[in-house]
Structure 1
Amino acid sequence: MIGVIALAPVRFLVKDAPASEGTSLRRELRALRRPQVWASIVMTIFGFGGLFGAFT
């Protein structure tokens, strides 16, 4: 419910930005080829897993 209430001001305060010409889903997914991206994903998974494991 809070998210729905917060959506209205965000919609009006954030300006629309046009997409650049050369963007596509395939081009965006190319970022997954980089090892740095996978390292950050793995660190996030283990970090949150450790946090929730500590509180369980």
Structure 2
Amino acid sequence: MSGMDKMKNKAEELSGRGKEAVGDATNDPDLKAEGQADQASGNLKQAGEKVKDIFK
């Protein structure tokens, strides 16, 4: 996995955690769900990159 991709995916995951926390604190279910989706997307991208690295 390239370093830049890894950083982007981790940033997306951390951004999602922040959105989820703000959504939870402000009782905004839409923002909380968006944060959870961002986290899942970041994690999925990281897993995909790891699989690609295995087959190189």
Using the size of structure 1 for normalisation, the TM-score is 0.43
Larger RCO (alpha carbons 8 Å, 6+ apart): 2
Using the size of structure 2 for normalisation, the TM-score is 0.43
